[in-house]
Amino acid sequence: MLLGEDDILELCYMTLDSDEQKVMQSIIDSWDDRNNRPLGLKSYVETCSLKQDYEFLLINSWEDEHDFLQWHNSENNTPAHFGHAGNKSAVVNQYVSAGKQHLNRYSA
């Protein structure tokens, strides 16, 4: 995932049972077609814990904060309806790019 200087990052942590994993995978697979992605979603990465196969982190890169907020508050935001550790919804955190100068400091 390549980040632009003004991109908005969304990190969405979920714990999913086997049925929820199938639903979530279907949603993520549909995003392979750019026309099925939420407006403004540039790229995404789905990760799964190596030790706990029910823990997932979805990392989304958004063009701008407006698009992220529209999605975050939308009824169509199905991933947000999945819970974590017995809670009713996913943990969602929003981040902005630290900028090229900051990112280059930590590149190998």
pTM to 2 decimal places: 0.77
Question: Is the residue at 61 inside a domain?
Answer: yes
Question: Is the residue at 4 inside a domain?
Answer: no
Q: Are 68 and 40 in contact (CB under 8 A)?
A: yes
pLDDT tens digit at each of 108 positions of the chain? 666 767 788 888 888 888 989 999 999 999 999 999 999 999 999 999 888 888 898 999 998 889 989 998 898 888 877 777 666 766 776 666 655 444 443 333
Instruction: Enter the DSSP assignment of 38.
Output: P
CATH at residue 40: 3.30.70.100
Number of structural domains, the chain? 1
Question: Is the residue at 58 inside a domain?
Answer: yes
Q: How far apart are CA 97 and CA 45, in angstroms?
A: 16
Measuring CA to CA, which residue among 63, 58, 20, 8 is closest to residue 41? 63
**36 is in which domain, residue-wise?**
9-105
